[in-house]
Structure 1
Amino acid sequence: MKSINIMPKTRRKTTEDKLAWIYLVNLVFYFIPIFINEMPLWDIGVCLLILIPFIYCYFWAHRSSKQKAIYPILAMIALGALITPINAGSLALFTFAGFFIGFYYSLRTAFFSLLALLTLLTALSLLLGINPYFFVLYGGLLIIGVGLFGLAERKRVEAKCRQQQSEAEISQLATMLERERIGRDLHDIMGHNLSSISLKAELAEKLLTKGDLEQAGVQLRELNEIARDSLTQIRQTVSDYKHKGLSASVMQLCQTLRDKGLSVSLEGDLPTLPSTLETQLILSLTELCNNVIRHSQASHCAITFERFNDEINISVTDNGTPQTVNEGNGLNGIRERLSEFQGKLDYCLEQQCRFTITLPMPEEQKLMSGVQS
């Protein structure tokens, strides 16, 4: 016999539930005495009729909870006891009850329950004059073996349920982390833009109130440009950060800096990184370049890629002269996304402002470096 379904009612009509009919093949032992012995038609009819409530009780036990399984189990035992005077093949019915006892109950409870069932077999053997070697010894060993199989099957099902629960918890945790990451990335990308939109909308409203239509139009055009840029970045973020690669993204950042009036230099060879790390590096560089545009008041920016030992250093340097750096959600977000890959972010304000991202070199590049050396 196979395992039974102990899932909630809404999930009981599964493949396992449908295959439960196949496990009734064990009833073949119930029919052996009918064919061996010359039974009257009346007795054969009673033996067949008993199977109707027994099969009902079997599926009742199959779908029961632990608390209610006792009722179909007792019903199966009672049916087996009632048919024993006519058909000693009732042992097959008792084995089904033994399986469910082992499946539903603890080892201690199952032990005493199976012991009680063996006592019933002994009593039936003595009262009806059935061969004790067949009915008690063979039948008892069979019931105990099937009961132990039910116990083992319960352990397997419990382990499977724990595994499914663990997988569900891991999936839920991964979903929470992914939501947190998306929220952080959206904040890093959109926080400043939304603030700018709010300020420019407020300024345009005041200019319109004063009747300065020309300046109000300038503010509205800039607001429209920011909104379009924000929409593009939102689409890229929501579509799982699909990008053209590190090289194309860095070139785009350089062009953005130039469009804002800065001269730009790009130095070093761009590394080949895993896609997940590359995505996080692009978002980090985007945040750093946006900070240069928003806060540095610089005229030049340099983006440098260097390899040192087993590390990759990416620096964003500008000739602005900030006295201090207020670490907000942007820089904290960079540190959080880099920490997942054992990366870090440092900065230096001496003479010029330099932010440096340090990443461990991927294993593939370590091997290539070793071959080249």
Structure 2
Amino acid sequence: MRQSVSRMRSLFKKLDQRLLPKNREMDGSLPYVTLIYLAFYCFPLFFQLPSFGETLLIVSALLVFLFLYFHLHWLSPRKRWRNLLFMWLLGISLSPWYSGGISFIIYAAAMSCLLENARKAALAILLIASATWLAGTLLNMNQSMLYTALFFVLMVGPMNIYLVDLGKKRRALDLSQQEIKTLAASAERERIARDLHDTMGHAFSMITLKAELAGKLIDKNLEAAKQQIKELEALSRDTLAQIRDAVTGYRRSGLRSELVNTKMALETAGFSFDSSFQSCELSEKLDDELALILRELTTNIIRHSNGSHCEVNIRQVNNTLTLEVTDDGNNASIEAGNGIAGIRERLHPFGGKLTITTGQQTRLLIQVSV
């Protein structure tokens, strides 16, 4: 059984490599899932059996459509309009005598999302809708069928534009986060190497000197040699503690470190960024939690904000720490989710509170007693 499943997976992988490019805009198996809607193309056959000639024409049209569909993914965005045009022509030619033909018209609108940008995709959808209405009127297409086609063209097309744009943003975010992790890891490795070099270089020099001195004194002045050995022991313990501190600092990611990651992530996503950080006395646990909160807010801004500028201000006034994140996007629905509940849960053990202000800009203010 397992061997059969493995063979099927291997076969599908080879078929996928032949049918679709590796780097495609539609993620994973989505291009194949989308073909499920071809069931509507075949649906009229259950109600009226066509002649042999009509059946041959219907099957031939389906094969031509499948070629246009898969070939479209291999083309550059600038050249894809040709395949969309042929899909539409195929659908409009079939529709007057075979109602399943409107499926190809809808597919042409749905696949417009793969053009160069959202503006051109929206223009293509409007052209498809207008041309369909004009051609359907001239060809005396059934009115209910014509309006059904127009409804799905204007519904599915924009929805696919949004989904593809969301996928691009997610891939860009994943890539930027991966780059940030790589850069952060590299910076931390350099820091730990520098700290260990400074700590251990000095410490081992002192240990060597004291060991040599103790060796020279052991036959001449035993008490002085014992004193040097005691100092050597204390120095070794102190060095070990410093090494542990350096390693602990390597493992933790505090608020200041996360602010650097925030800057890199937002600038990678196309935002301009300003920040201010006033030194604060925080416990390790609160420092780590605030770093995670800032990371969550940064992710939300990249995914959901329609703005272009973000500002982060961290300051402490008396015994209150304030973390303020502002962006110039207008997101009135931010209260509904976007990780806000999780942020409030993180703040609860520290008695912190989150205040959200929306309007011409979105402002999130976190206040915690320290």
Q: TM-score, normalised by structure 1?
A: 0.49
Q: TM (normalized to structure 2)?
A: 0.49
Rg larger for: 1
